[in-house]
Structure 1
Amino acid sequence: MIKAIGFIALGFILMEFSGWFIHKYLMHGPLWMIHKTHHQPSKSFFELNDLFSLLFGSVAIVLIFLGIEELDYRFWMGVGISLYGILYFFLHDVLVHRRLKWFDRPKNSFLKGIFRAHQAHHRTNQKDDAVSFGLFVVPKEYFKEKKK
């Protein structure tokens, strides 16, 4: 059981750091033509950028499928990636971008920091001017309350 929890955590953590790398160097690099749809106003519920979610979800499904018979590390890492994807959906798509209006703006200081960091990321719709590429791991400055 401890190994399973460890591999779930490893899958989750690897997803955050590989997601940061992919976001910064690929999405804001050679894959900008797909990702820029996320930085532009849209009247559609879906955007071309959603293909990245399908890709990451596919990796999780393949790992789960490959490891389900033995319930080995692949299964549990796939579960960790899936958990990351579920939280990503709620934080990024529901809470930050309000693609589904289930919740109000965050009041929790951790969620406010994530919200501010993502707002800073979207201050530009240009490929090269963006900041803050992670979802959970963001610079400390975004967690500081602004003085009124």
Structure 2
Amino acid sequence: MVKAIGFIILGFAIMEFSGWAIHKYLMHGPLWSIHKTHHQPSKSWFELNDLFSLLFGSIAVILIILGIEAFDYRFWIGMGISLYGMLYFFLHDVLIHRRVKLFHRPGNFFLRGIFKAHQAHHKTNKKDDAVSFGLFVVPKKYFKEEKQ
């Protein structure tokens, strides 16, 4: 069971750190034509950018299927990627972008820092000049409280 938990954490961490690199160097690089739909106002519930979620979700499903018979590392890493995806959807799409209007903006210290970092990322709707490409791991400066 300890190995399983370790592989779940590994899958989650792989998503955060590879997601950061993919976001910075591919989505804000050669794949900008797809990702820019996330930086533009939209009246549609679906953005072309959502294709990235389908890609990452597919990788998780494939790993789970490949590892389910033996419950080996592939299964648990796939579960970690899936956990990341579920938390990403809840945090990014529900709380931050309010694509599903279930909750108010975050009031928790940690969630407020993530929210601020994401707001900073969206200050530009251009390919360049964006900051803060991770979701859960963001620079400390976004957790500082503003002086009143």
Tell me the TM-score range normalised by the shorter chain: over 0.9
Structure 1 residue 111 corresponds to structure 2 residue 147: no
Aligned mates of 2:33, 2:129 — CA distance in 1: 15
2:70 alignment partner in structure 1: 70
Deviation at 1:3, TM superposition (A): 0.2
Find the counterpart in structure 2 of residue 49 from structure 1. 49
Q: Output one character per residue of 1:54-82: Cα deviation in whole Å (capped at 9) or x when no partner.
A: 00000000000000000000000000000
Distance 2:142 2:28 in 1: 21
Q: Report the 3-state secondary structure (helix = DSSP H, G, I; strand = E; otherwise coil) of the residue aligned with 1:8.
A: helix
Offset from partner CA, 1:31-74 (integer Å, 9 cap, x none): 00000000000000000000000000000000000000000000
Match of 2:32 in 1: 32
User: Which residue identity does 1:146 align to in structure 2?
Assistant: E
Take 2:101 and 2:45, find their aligned partners in 1: how far apart are those partners? 12
Write the distance in 1 (CA, Å) between the matches of 2:119 and 2:91: 13
Equivalents in 2 of 1:61, 1:126: separation in Å?
A: 33
Measure the CA separation in 1 of the matches of 2:111 and 2:37: 24
Take 1:100 and 1:145, find their aligned partners in 2: how far apart are those partners?
27
- Paired-residue identity, %: 80
Q: Identify unmatched segments of 5+ residues in structure 1.
A: none
After TM superposition, the score normalised by the length of structure 1 is 1.00
Given residue 5 of structure 1, which amino acid in structure 2 is its aligned partner? Answer: I
Counterparts of 2:145 and 2:109 in 1: how far apart (Å)?
8
Deviations 1:3-50 (A, max 9, x none): 000000000000000000000000000000000000000000000000
Give the 5 Å matches for 1:131-146.
131-146=131-146
Q: TM-score w.r.t. structure 2 length?
A: 1.00
4+ long deviations beyond 2 Å: none
Shift of 1:99: 0.2
